[in-house]
Structure 1
Amino acid sequence: MRVATFNVNGIRAAQRRGFEAWLAERDPDVVALQEVRCPPEQLPSGVFGGYHLAYEPGHLAGRNGVAVLTRTRPAAVRTWDGEVLLRAPGEEHLHTEPSPPGTMARGLSPFASEGRYIEVDLSDAPVTIASLYLPKGGLPAHLQKPNAREAPDGGARYERKMGFLASFARQLDRSRRAAKAAGREFLLLGDLNIAHTRQDLTNWRSSNRSEGFLPEEREWFGSILSPRTLVDVVRSVHPDADGPWSWWSWMGGAFDRDVGWRIDYHLATPGLARRAVAAGTDRPASGPERVSDHAAVVVDYAPAD
């Protein structure tokens, strides 16, 4: 089973840059998408090929939006704001379907309508797949500078992200346990906007006071991983490597100099993680070939015994 996660940074822009060609060439069985950033009525016709679409667009115009593409219609779909767009290949309808109630952990209601989370139960494998777009956040007030690229906000973005992390840890534990109770593996895919260790970004020495690599963010990341709960699949396949990076800024020639971050992940329950036989990042050969500022992270999982 080939599974990919891809922050497309806007599906309409990604289509113009070659998303459909990537999808056809890599031929994944499941794709989790983040930052689809498109109202349902403006989704490009045919962009998802022969896949079934489960899409949570959220209600922030031009922002966020998460989806999961599957070869067969999912057995179940859950999201936080109660409605999800489900389309079979070739369909272009706009009506949404209700999500089962009671799937959101305490503290997540301020994020419920932002299009940040969707999970599906595959119908052709005993696996629950979740797609997450975690808030980027910001710096705490004491680290902010008046001349920074983003105007100081007194630490509001930082506090909001930290609140999300605390609440999402409860959500993650709930979803993982529910999958186990149903006889399913659980796989969290997405853009977590955190580089966990020094191996996960190029300039780690100068980034200790940067959002996405703050000590408290990294500590949270470590707290959700363990050999008995969730495993960072790509790191388990490449334990000694720097990277592979999944994001490079559009600015400053970062891609050409390969100055990147690894912030897109496969976090799997141990039984599924052990079945990973190949894992990596689809880094384009050159800047002009980039579909997004992110690259897809692709893992091949062997069939269950």
Structure 2
Amino acid sequence: MPIQIATINVNGVRAAFRKGMVDWLNANSGIEILALQEVRASDADLDDLFAQHGGLAKDGGQWHVLHDVASAKGRAGVAIVSKIPAIAVRTELGAPDFDSAGRWLEADFEIAGKTLTVISTYVHSGEADTPKQVEKYKFLEAMRERMAQLISTTDYVLVTGDLNVGHTELDIKNWKGNLKNAGFLPEERAYFDDFMHKQGWVDIGRASHPGEPGPYTWWSFRGQAFDTDAGWRIDYHLATPKLAAVASNYRVHRAASYDTRFTDHSPVSVSYAL
């Protein structure tokens, strides 16, 4: 059976659970690995939420929880929650003096005799012409170097998460109005050209919808963005070629209506036949 992997920026996991994330988990019980971004909670908080939903593996339940907390309390935070135990975990990214805490989490899983590396990452949102954008470029550069290492040494790697960049004009509804805004700056998009066109990573979302706008994965809570589908595609599954070759069933889990959303992003799931 293929293994189903999903990624979701929860915009605060405690709030997401209060707003209906549990219902989504129950309706998608086939998901075996779940990458989370913007957890914005403590280890104890995250453990408690998944202990109440299916239980923790250490207590005889189904969920194994890995979590990297951001340096600043209540900010960022990435996690990988799985029904399969990880055999190795890494959080290092970039130079030793670079603070990537809460933004990059790698986990290795043994599946069908193969080692699958799953990464949950949360790229800075940035802000053009400010120090926030400088930090975003530092992170993207560190990410570029690590992804080059991974694709050259490992067959089955999946980079998932909220990457906070729309790669092409197909990835943002209002791309003309965002040419000078963080998330669609030429310098940011050039990193994605490098990932896909130079390094060889496969964007499963785009491969599944070639030449089509979207499907979008994030909509502002403000205005009518969700109702008019004025969104951005910024939540990704980037796979090594061998992993992409066994990918299927790419799906954006768009909420039925604005008031049924538990976050401003939609979960994105893919099945991989390892």
Cα distance, 1:55 vs structure 2: 0.8
* C-alpha contact (below 8 Å) 1:233/1:268 kept by paired residues: yes
Provide the C-alpha distance between the structure 2 equivalents of 1:277 and 1:233, rounded to a whole number of angstroms.
Answer: 9
Return 5+ residue gaps in structure 1 as ranges: 81-103, 141-154
Structure with a larger share of its residues in helix: 2
- 1:74 aligns with one of 59, 71, 86: 86
Alpha-carbon distance change, 57 to 228 in structure 1, aligned in 2, over 3 angstroms: closer
- 1:203 aligns with one of 171, 174, 194: 174
* C-alpha contact (below 8 Å) 2:33/2:84 kept by paired residues: no
The TM-score, its normalising length taken from structure 1, stands at: 0.81
* C-alpha contact (below 8 Å) 2:69/2:76 kept by paired residues: yes
The TM-score, its normalising length taken from structure 2, stands at: 0.90
The 5 Å alignment of 1:109-148 reads 109-112=97-100, 114-125=101-112, 126=114, 127-140=116-129
Q: Deviations over 1:99-138 (max 9, x none)?
A: xxxxx333x63323x3101011113352100000011111
Corresponding position: 1:33 with 2:36? yes
Match of 1:13 in 2: 15
Corresponding position: 1:54 with 2:25? no
Provide the C-alpha distance between the structure 1 equivalents of 2:44 and 2:205, rounded to a whole number of angstroms.
Answer: 35
* C-alpha contact (below 8 Å) 1:228/1:269 kept by paired residues: no
Match of 2:210 in 1: 239
- 1:2 aligns with one of 4, 7, 14: 4
Runs of 4+ in 1 over 4 A off after TM superposition: none
Provide the C-alpha distance between the structure 2 equivalents of 1:227 and 1:280, rounded to a whole number of angstroms.
Answer: 26
Return 5+ residue gaps in structure 2 as ranges: 55-61
Provide the C-alpha distance between the structure 1 equivalents of 2:198 and 2:262, rounded to a whole number of angstroms.
Answer: 34
* C-alpha contact (below 8 Å) 1:77/1:119 kept by paired residues: yes
Corresponding position: 1:296 with 2:267? yes
Cα distance, 1:41 vs structure 2: 2.6
Provide the C-alpha distance between the structure 1 equivalents of 2:53 and 2:151, rounded to a whole number of angstroms.
Answer: 28
Provide the C-alpha distance between the structure 2 equivalents of 1:196 and 1:216, rounded to a whole number of angstroms.
Answer: 11
Provide the C-alpha distance between the structure 2 equivalents of 1:109 and 1:42, rounded to a whole number of angstroms.
Answer: 28
Percent identity reads: 38
Alpha-carbon distance change, 71 to 300 in structure 1, aligned in 2, over 3 angstroms: same
Cα distance, 1:47 vs structure 2: 5.0
Provide the C-alpha distance between the structure 1 equivalents of 2:174 and 2:128, rounded to a whole number of angstroms.
Answer: 18
- 2:194 aligns with one of 185, 210, 223: 223
Provide the C-alpha distance between the structure 2 equivalents of 1:74 and 1:53, rounded to a whole number of angstroms.
Answer: 9
Cα distance, 1:160 vs structure 2: 1.7
Bigger Rg over Cα: 1
Which amino acid is the alignment partner of residue 156 of structure 1? P
Provide the C-alpha distance between the structure 2 equivalents of 1:272 and 1:227, rounded to a whole number of angstroms.
Answer: 17
- 2:135 aligns with one of 154, 157, 160: 160
* C-alpha contact (below 8 Å) 1:237/1:276 kept by paired residues: no
Provide the C-alpha distance between the structure 2 equivalents of 1:267 and 1:109, rounded to a whole number of angstroms.
Answer: 27
Q: Deviations over 1:180-236 (max 9, x none)?
A: 1xxx40000000000000110110111111110001111111111138631001110
Match of 2:258 in 1: 287
* C-alpha contact (below 8 Å) 1:66/1:132 kept by paired residues: yes
- 119-128 vs 38-47, which deviates more? 38-47
Corresponding position: 1:64 with 2:76? yes
Cα distance, 1:25 vs structure 2: 1.2
